[in-house]
Structure 1
Amino acid sequence: MWLNELQVNDAALRTYRKALRLSSPNHVVIDNLFDNSQLDAVISVLQQQHNWTTQKHSYSALYVDNAKWQKTPQTQRFVKRDLWQRAASKTVPATSTIADDFLTFLRGDEFMALLSRIFKVSLTDINVAKPDINTNYFRLAATDFVNQHADDSPGREVCLLLYLNKHWHHDNGGELVFRGTADTPVTIAPLHNRCVLFNPASPGAEHWVKALTTKNTPHYRYNVTSWYWSE
């Protein structure tokens, strides 16, 4: 239902594994991994304004409230963006069902088995206390930012970034940038139905997001972020 079957056959998986092996950081970019018609339905839900809340992180503390944020120096702020409120909350309308269904799929056995085959590691949520909070939608406005950081928590094997930005142009900004190795950063545009999979512990995996431009840019840059662990 969710996957584009042409992108998950044996030949495609061999290509992805080769890309991972040869890249620094170890990453692969897969366009059109998911069914576009299903993603269209998800996007229509994400455009509902009442389902979003602001999220702020500093380098010393996650989920900083407004009072602490105001006391945090600019150099210590690394994330300001909007977070999707999942339907588990009583305040979120039931119309968000298909968006939540997609997040459930990304956390389910079928998709995790696919990632396990690509990365040649057994992924599981058996030791993850709250799996659902590790897969969600985010959006950035021109005033938001994701500064350089690493996602290499112990046992975290795979990070997924999926972009949901139709009609995104090269001058809109918002590119993902890996630090890379040998002073060679890797820049990836956040195009619609583009999936970036990477090993967060591999050299050069620290990353950030370029600022959105304010001219001729859609109001928000949307993506899914998901983290996966091994046993």
Structure 2
Amino acid sequence: MDLLAQQDYVIIDQFLNPEQLKNIHSFFEQKQYEGAFDKAAIGQSGSEKVIKEIRGDYTYWLNRDVDTQITPLFSVFEEVKNIINQLMYLSLADYEFHLAHYPKGSYYKKHLDQFDGRRNRMVSMIIYLNKDWQKGDGGELRVYPENNVPIDVEPLENRCVLFRSDVLFHEVLQANTSRKSITGWMLYQSTELPHLM
């Protein structure tokens, strides 16, 4: 949390325990098999647009009341929220998360995790699910700290990245192979329905 406060981002490896990681891999594969992923859009719910020149990923929004197979993962989200509240005094109230799949050739151009008129995303959180990721596979997260020297974060399996949603510009570099993650936001105020980034 000290690093997150100082540099607006932090990287934590081996984030989930082996049982949690196995469970989310199984859930991700199940949702892909079911065809539950939708083409990702930009903008708020009701006015979102699919613009393939900006982003090319597919998402499945998580619902703690429906997706009971991954209840332990929601407990992790809750624990992270509570730790941030305790140590960073951000008064977080809720969170929203989705599964994200970037097929080969897809990317997400430089952006900030905020909406016009809805600025309750405080901390972005990504947990990567890429088994055996190798250099050249692409899909790195490029963050732009205040000094504007970009930093590329390799999307290694079970690596977690936390960063300030309101200040840190970032992008997803082109994936040269399938790229998977759990992506979401710690919220200042609750949101009744999932919104798109």
TM-score if structure 2 supplies the norm length? Answer: 0.78
- Check if 1:21 corresponds to 2:5: yes
Between the aligned partners of 1:177 and 1:87, the Cα distance in structure 2 is 28
Would the alpha carbon gap of residues 88 and 59 (structure 1) be closer, same or farther in structure 2, given more than 3 Å must change?
closer
1:55 to 29, 39, 44: 39
Between the aligned partners of 1:119 and 1:62, the Cα distance in structure 2 is 33
1:211 shift after superposition:
0.6
Query: Which residue number corresponds to residue 145 of structure 1?
Result: 107
Q: Quick check: 1:106–1:135 contact (8 Å CA) kept in 2?
A: no
Query: Which residue number corresponds to residue 169 of structure 2?
Result: 206
1:114 to 83, 86, 110: 83
1:124 to 70, 93, 111: 93
Would the alpha carbon gap of residues 188 and 62 (structure 1) be closer, same or farther in structure 2, given more than 3 Å must change?
farther
- Check if 1:78 corresponds to 2:54: yes
Between the aligned partners of 1:184 and 1:62, the Cα distance in structure 2 is 34
**Structure ranking higher on relative contact order (CA contacts 8 Å, 6+ apart):** 2
Between the aligned partners of 1:135 and 1:103, the Cα distance in structure 2 is 11
TM-score if structure 1 supplies the norm length? Answer: 0.68
The higher radius of gyration belongs to: 1
Q: Gapped runs of 5+ residues in structure 2?
A: 190-197
Between the aligned partners of 1:191 and 1:44, the Cα distance in structure 2 is 18
Query: Which residue number corresponds to residue 75 of structure 2?
Result: 105
Q: Quick check: 2:133–2:157 contact (8 Å CA) kept in 1?
A: yes
Between the aligned partners of 1:162 and 1:201, the Cα distance in structure 2 is 19
Q: Residue by residue, what CA displacement relative to the aligned partner does 1:8-30 show, whole Å, maximum 9, x if unpaired?
A: xxxxxxxx31x12332xx11111
Between the aligned partners of 1:57 and 1:148, the Cα distance in structure 2 is 15
Q: Quick check: 1:139–1:221 contact (8 Å CA) kept in 2?
A: yes
> How many residues are paired up?
183
**CA RMSD, aligned part only?**
2.8
Between the aligned partners of 1:62 and 1:223, the Cα distance in structure 2 is 25
Query: Which residue number corresponds to residue 162 of structure 1?
Result: 127
1:151 shift after superposition:
0.8
Supply the AA of the counterpart residue of 1:211: Q
Q: Quick check: 2:109–2:172 contact (8 Å CA) kept in 1?
A: yes
Q: Gapped runs of 5+ residues in structure 1?
A: 1-15, 126-130
Residue aligned with 1:159, SS: strand
Residue aligned with 1:174, SS: coil
Supply the AA of the counterpart residue of 1:22: Q
Q: Quick check: 1:164–1:222 contact (8 Å CA) kept in 2?
A: yes
Identity among equivalent positions (%) equals 23
